Structure 1
Amino acid sequence: MKKYIEETYKRVELQEGQRVIEQFLIHCYLNPDISTKELARKVLLPLPVATAIKKELIKAGALEQGSGVRCSANGREYVEQALGYGGLDHVLFQKLISEDDAWRTELADVHTSMEEIFSLRPQVDVLLDQSKSTVETSLRRALLCLRDQALLGKRILCVGDDDLVSVALGLLLKRLYPAAEKQAAIIDVVDIDQRFLGYIESLAAEQKLPITCHQADLRQPLPKRLHGKYDCFFTDPPYTLSGMSLFLSRGISALQKQKGLSIYLSFAHKSPDFTLAMQREFVRAGLTVREVISHFNEYEGAQMIGNRGQMIVLTTTELTTPSIPQAFHDALYTGEEKQTLRTYRCKRCEEAIRVGMKGAFKTIEELKKRGCPRCKNGTFRLISRKRV
């Protein structure tokens, strides 16, 4: 099959990267007889540049000019087979990308299925800075990926996935492709927690979702087999600067070497000084910020961050490279950076128990689960706290 995107990219001097040519073709496929002016607006290009791309794609045989611009028969075949749009439910797709709240009715059955799936997921491990996102949050992330043209026919990586974004992506694809065999996207998950990986694998097998899981400690570089393969990635890292930089670096190493690829970073709302430090890390990694959506993520029981977090959509550039390519040995999780030793007193027998990285129990959740060492009671009151 002819490589329209690569060939056009060679002929048109395009600083935005070849992904914009792919978007150009997809808009012509989805909106036959679209005007060149509207095309330029949709792909965020000056009109002369959009006109140059159009002329090259017409010359190559992928587009036709009539009352507007549309895909030729060869162009349609290319978008459907090479870009993964064949077999797509176009009516559902158009509703989901054009109407903000359409998913509430159109994906009501998916939402119901995910509520049950989320209710059975493993308990979070606070030592790994895990927290439980809501069903709506994971679905919104999947829909954001769809609207960015980063889902259909793509390779997607979830760098850590206690929020089950991979499952939301898989169930969305299942609804969008009535004939499942025509669905071409691939979803991979890397995580250190085998409990979540095992749960995701069982769901993928049961629901026939295109998900593959890989256990990996992100303190070490990703396995070579995962390098340079993916079109985008999601991550909700530990809410420390080092945690964010490390998870971004591992995801970047897995991306294809292209400009304009999307990174979906979920992170807590932070102070201006911390945000400035974050933006310096983005620059170090050669990333640009395309969009920041405040209060996009909602979590169950995450009072420390007000139960809400932001979605930061980053874009790769010519200079994108992992800022931490090697093994990582410093403090990573919140509990490691801000170590405290807390003393709790059992409400039944008054036994004093130390909790923290250097205590008898690492977390209060662990203490409650195992009970008081003396009387097995599960209720305690905090009597002191000090920094270690």
Structure 2
Amino acid sequence: MAETRVKSFVLRFLLAQPLTYWKLLKYIDVDIPTVQKTLKNLLRNKILEYKNNLFYLTSKGREEAKDLGISVFNSAMCPECHGKTVTLSPFKWLVKEFESLTFERPKAISEYDQGYVDSTDTVARVIFMYQLGDIEGKNIILLGDDDLTSLALLASGFPKQVTVLEIDQRILNFIEKKAALKGWNNLEVIRYDVREPLPDQFKGKYDVFLTDPVETIGGLRLFLSRCVEALKGEGSIGYFGLTHLEASRQKWWNIQKDILEMGFTITDIVRGFHTYLLERDDILNLELKVVKEAPVEIKIPEVDFYTSNLFRIYAVNSPQPLVRGKVDWQRELYYDQEAYVTCP
């Protein structure tokens, strides 16, 4: 059970040191509602205590850990790549160039469920794609680009063509302006609402897609359908992000079924690949469920707790989108019962 998994993680982490609510959310790979419920039960049963913004194990909690055979957690994560499987050492120039390009980027807005990724993570994603042969000489399409990954791709010099479909005109203008300053002529930017059918000019034209979809099941199905419809065929590649915070394992299972039905297999999942730089004050001010339903009174996050996992999928058959026509969705595109860091 997910609650049992949360409990074991809480015990092993807190045996090492007291932790804040936000760090526990970041470290435990289970959805927020389940973490909140488990923490409430552990507090009620005197396994945990909360003081000065930190969770501690009680003496009863330490005995519980001992009885369950749980020991102090020691991280075995690679200190160089931080679990991403690629190092940026040979590409420091690209990190520097990308950070220069994205200075004074448009502010993320909740209307489109935006939140951008740390710049080094964005470059690491490009390098991960490069490592697997998915960039050089490729036609790449991005559905949504508030992370400005298109600029990292263009700055690398590897892709043949980069196309950005994005609903936020501010982002399109920013990308187009930066590309013009650099003299890049292999970029196409189009304002596009994912609820509309994919225009014919983009169908079957691309080797690789990249998207960070909304995390409702319907929204994920819609985003992935639009993306796979843009791919050339068997052997095409897709990349997308998916959290554990707002996506339960049941949701993952449903998404994996969709991926198989679309003609793809999952080749890679890299945990915690992306760290999102959310506006920390907004986390409290927007009355999000991650705050409203927390088991204790909490303060502004002291860490960037919102992470997502990087998926790579491979077309073993001709890609088959599950959604083709127009959909008439509003906030239900973005919001479901697991959306705890998304505005209702």
Same fold (TM over 0.5): yes
Distance 2:305 2:192 in 1: 30
Return the offset for 1:336.
Answer: 4.4
Contact 1:129–1:333, Cα closer than 8 Å, also in 2? no
Which of the residues 237, 241, 246 maps onto 1:266?
A: 241
Give distance in 2, aligned partners of 1:334 and 1:109. 38
Distance 2:253 2:86 in 1: 31
Worse overlay, 299-308 or 321-330: 299-308
| TM-score, scaled to structure 2 | 0.62
Aligned match of 1:297: 274
Q: 1:128 aligns with which of 105, 108, 112?
A: 112
Task: Output aligned runs, 1:334-349, within 5 Å.
Answer: 336-337=335-336
Tell me, in whole angstroms, the C-alpha distance in 1 between the residues paired with 2:322 and 2:328.
14
2:142 to 136, 155, 158: 158
For residues 223 and 212 of structure 1, the distance between their equivalents in structure 2, rounded to whole angstroms, comes to 14
Where does 1:278-317 land on structure 2 (aligned, <5 Å)? 278-301=255-278, 306-317=305-316
**Is 1:118 matched up with 2:95?**
no
- CA deviation after TM superposition for structure 1 residue 279, in Å: 1.2
Q: Distance in 2 between matches of 1:128 and 1:285?
A: 26
TM-score relative to the length of structure 1: 0.56
From the superposition, tell whether residues 332 and 312 of structure 1 become closer, same or farther in structure 2 (CA, over 3 Å). farther
Residue 211 (1) aligns with residue 211 (2): no
Structure 1 spans left out of the alignment, 5+ residues: 1-98, 177-183, 341-355, 358-388
Aligned residue runs from structure 1 range 342-357, under 5 A = none
> Relative to structure 1, is the Cα distance of residues 237 and 207 closer, same or farther in structure 2, using a 3 angstrom cutoff?
same
Equivalent residues in 2 for 1:1-388, closer than 5 Å: 100-101=86-87, 103-104=88-89, 106-173=90-157, 185-209=160-184, 210-257=186-233, 259-269=234-244, 270-301=247-278, 306-331=305-330, 336-337=335-336
8 A Cα contact 2:218 2:333, kept in partner: no
**Residues 131, 334 of structure 1: CA spacing in aligned structure 2 closer, same or farther, 3 A cutoff?**
farther
* C-alpha RMSD over aligned residues: 2.4
Could you tell me how far 1:267 is from its partner in structure 2? 1.4
Question: In the alignment, which residue of structure 2 is the partner of 1:91?
Answer: none
Task: Show structure 2 runs of 5+ residues with no match.
Answer: 1-84, 284-289, 291-303
Q: Is the 8 A contact 1:298 1:307 kept in 2?
A: yes
Contact 1:298/1:308, CA 8 A, preserved across alignment:
yes
- Give identity over the alignment, percent: 25
Distance in 2 (alpha carbons) for counterparts of 1:151 and 1:214: 21
CA contact (8 A) 1:129 1:239 kept: no
Structure number with greater Rg is 1
SS at match of 1:123: coil
Instruction: State the distance in 1 between where 2:330 and 2:258 align.
Output: 17
